Amino acid sequence: MCGIVGYIGQKDATPIVLNGLKRLEYRGYDSAGLAILQDETIKIRRVAGKIDKLFELVSESPLKGNIGIGHTRWATHGEPNKTNAHPHLGSNKDVVIVHNGIVENYLELKDELIEEGVNFKSETDTEVIVHLIELFLTSGLRIDEAVRMAIMKIRGAHGIVVFSKNEPDRIIAARIGNAGGVVIGVGKNEMFIASDIPAILDHTRKMIFLESQQMAIVKSNEVDIYDLNGNALTYEVHNVNWDPVSAEKGDHKHFMHKEIHEQVRSLIDTIAGRVNFTDYLIKFNDLSLDKELAISINKIFITACGTAAYAGMVGKILIEKVARIPVEVVIGSEFRYSDPIIDENTIVLAISQSGETADTLAAMDEGKKRGAKIWVIVNAIGSQAMRIADGYISMQAGPEIGVASTKAYTAPLVDLYMLAILLGELRDSISEQQRRDLVNNLRLVPDLVGECLTREDEIVEIAKRLENMQHCLYLGRGINMPTAYEGALKLKEISYIHAEGYPAGEMKHGPIALIDNNMPVIVISPKDPWYEKMISQIEQAKARGGFVIALATDGDELIKDIADRVIWVPETPWMLSPVISIIPLQLLAYHIAHQRGLDVDQPRNLAKSVTVE
């Protein structure tokens, strides 16, 4: 998510906004900017890159004024460059905006505005909003009315902060859905606005939290809050006693825990703007995939590292099942030494959260050299992987700070699911009804993930039972075999316990010799097409004295009788099962590591992005 800061009062807004943005650095971003009303003119300074560059720019060309807004941007639409950085001005330079969230219908609105003669300067979806506001202002509305009318036209979740030079006694703030918060800090004849408490905690502890579908008119000495029909609302002023550092993680002790719990939001964003639930169609605007290309594909290599590679293994099953295209998963560090057989009808699909992983980039280069078309599923917009690819799918998961990947695992799983459907539709390998059913199942994902998260206490209990184990086996089969690998990786990388993911069917070919009552076995056995086979795995492990924790679908009495512990997950369409099954395993790894007092966010020897071979 991006960061927002605003100020209106008697002081100079510039240092307040800049220092507030600095406080939000932890959220991860790739560009920054601020707008100040100075001598009745809106002045803007923006940079690509880190906030220190913005400080330098402002010291070289200072800004001074009593009203200002600022933003740190994590790019979802358009490269992270100065042009796309917020704030964005309207064409008449009367009104300026900063925005968190995704305008799901920005393409159609942008077309309509261009028809009206609007000249866009950036590639962002945000710019659509400020031009809409300007259109309503020119029809004679006040700034608050114009913002409300603009909000009625946009779809998605948003945090919006706007001011106009023609009504310089107020800032308008609005929150739609959950694209990060909108907080109003109450001072003495001054008010502060932020997407996160840490940005303004130095100035006040009296906070008003906007709720979804609410809009505020913020003046230096009063705040009025309305619903989107213009009805005035009462509100509470809270006293926040967080210390600034812990405020950065909100209620969470670690970024990893925060990011595990962000997966309802991040998956809503992953799906946002890609699914037409009227016609049940998928579209990826940045992939340049059409019917002709889809039909021409004779093979897809999926290449990635670590967690991303495990997502690729799920993608193989999905794309082969739905689109009937042969898929081979080759980890990045092996790909370029594997002499891959590639021609002009081959796709090399990379997956990378950072977009800077050296082994994955090398694999992409190798594929390009051999004539393949290169795609990437990437979270960091503007990263090297995105730049060298012929087309990309943005994970739209927001910045991931914890080294252990969580939401940047579930996001590509859903992207791969949607890609499989799109390829299947373009290649006529699925019927319309099959497509509609598969698309319809996407609606279930946020609630199913949310349901898993509500069961965290059950996981804490199991984590306590496993806290002192030295080894652990994770067994999975079919579409949940990668779940076993990923679950084991989560545990080993943050708890330093030797954990191994294994194809369940392979146990009898050797590894079963490892099982005794000191070897807990986590068996991933939800109701999926491989379920029946997993029952015997549980029995085999039990017969050798193993302590078996089975991940099972709600209501499964058989597994409840034979396993020592059960991790329950809600019933899920099998192709989306890996998205759900990994949630409790993320939580299990987190709680075991936390109980062991380890540095969950920065595990020893690991980096968030491995930019060396």
CB of 417 to ligand AGP, least distance (A): 18
Do the beta carbons of residue 391 and residue 375 sit within 8 Å?
yes
Query: By C-beta, is 264 or 305 nearer to ligand AGP?
Result: 305
Q: How far is CA 174 from CA 219, 232, 272, in A?
A: 14, 14, 20
- 537 binds ligand AGP, rule: CB under 6 A: no
Scan for tokens 């990309």, then name that residue. Answer: 392
- 495 binds ligand AGP, rule: CB under 6 A: no
CB of 353 to ligand AGP, least distance (A): 4
Give the single-character DSSP code of 403: S
- Cis peptide leading into 87, omega within 30 of 0? yes
Name the pairing type of β-strands 232-233 and 88-89: unpaired
CB of 360 to ligand AGP, least distance (A): 5
Do the beta carbons of residue 585 and residue 472 sit within 8 Å?
no
CB of 406 to ligand AGP, least distance (A): 8
Residues numbered 359 to 398 that lie near ligand AGP (CB under 6 A) are 360
- 404 binds ligand AGP, rule: CB under 6 A: yes
Query: By C-beta, is 84 or 357 nearer to ligand AGP?
Result: 357
* Residue 171 CA, distance from chain mean position: 29
Name the residue whose CB lies closest to ligand AGP: 306
Q: Which of 14, 38, 354, 553 lies at the binding interface for ligand AGP (CB under 6 A)?
A: 354
**Part of the chain binding ligand AGP (CB under 6 A), chosen from 9-17, 31-39, 234-242, 354-362:** 354-362
Query: Of 195, 189, 181, 174, nearest to 222 (Cα)?
Result: 189
Q: Which of 372, 403, 576, 592 lies at the binding interface for ligand AGP (CB under 6 A)?
A: 403
Query: By C-beta, is 405 or 553 nearer to ligand AGP?
Result: 405
Do the beta carbons of residue 504 and residue 534 sit within 8 Å?
yes
CB of 479 to ligand AGP, least distance (A): 19
Query: By C-beta, is 3 or 399 nearer to ligand AGP?
Result: 399
**Part of the chain binding ligand AGP (CB under 6 A), chosen from 49-57, 294-302, 351-359, 415-423:** 351-359
Would you call 50 a catalytic residue per the annotation?
A: no
- 487 binds ligand AGP, rule: CB under 6 A: no
Q: Locate 366 and state its tokens.
A: 């190798």
Of the residues 82, 321, 542, 608, which is catalytic? 608
CB of 335 to ligand AGP, least distance (A): 13
Scan for tokens 């191994």, then name that residue. Answer: 500
Would you call 608 a catalytic residue per the annotation?
A: yes
Query: By C-beta, is 156 or 306 nearer to ligand AGP?
Result: 306
| Helices assigned H by DSSP within 281-328 | 291-296, 306-323
CB of 500 to ligand AGP, least distance (A): 15
Q: How far is CA 32 from CA 75, 85, 87, 98, 389, in A?
A: 11, 6, 8, 10, 25
**Part of the chain binding ligand AGP (CB under 6 A), chosen from 159-167, 198-206, 399-407, 477-485:** 399-407
CA distance 117 to 130: 14
Q: Which of 76, 126, 204, 353 lies at the binding interface for ligand AGP (CB under 6 A)?
A: 353
Query: By C-beta, is 324 or 498 nearer to ligand AGP?
Result: 498
Do the beta carbons of residue 259 and residue 402 sit within 8 Å?
yes
**Part of the chain binding ligand AGP (CB under 6 A), chosen from 290-298, 300-308, 450-458, 498-506:** 300-308
CB of 231 to ligand AGP, least distance (A): 46
Query: By C-beta, is 191 or 494 nearer to ligand AGP?
Result: 494
Show Cβ contacts of residue 447 under 8 Å, excluding neighbours closer than 6 positions: none
Residues numbered 211 to 250 that lie near ligand AGP (CB under 6 A) are none
DSSP letter for each residue of 437-489: HHHHHGGGHHHHHHHHHTTHHHHHHHHHHHTT-SEEEEEE-GGGHHHHHHHHH
- Angle in degrees, CA 92, 180, 307, rounded to 5: 120
CB of 410 to ligand AGP, least distance (A): 12
Q: Which of 84, 195, 307, 333 lies at the binding interface for ligand AGP (CB under 6 A)?
A: 307
Q: Which of 8, 300, 305, 521 lies at the binding interface for ligand AGP (CB under 6 A)?
A: 305
Q: Which of 405, 410, 480, 586 lies at the binding interface for ligand AGP (CB under 6 A)?
A: 405
# residues near ligand AGP by CB under 6 A: 15
Name the pairing type of β-strands 95-101 and 158-164: antiparallel
CA distance 186 to 207: 6
Do the beta carbons of residue 424 and residue 549 sit within 8 Å?
no
8 CB burial (10 A radius; 0-12, 13-18, 19+): buried
Using CB under 6 A, list all residues that contact ligand AGP: 305-308, 352-354, 357, 360, 403-405, 493, 609-610
Catalytic sites, residue numbers? 2, 608
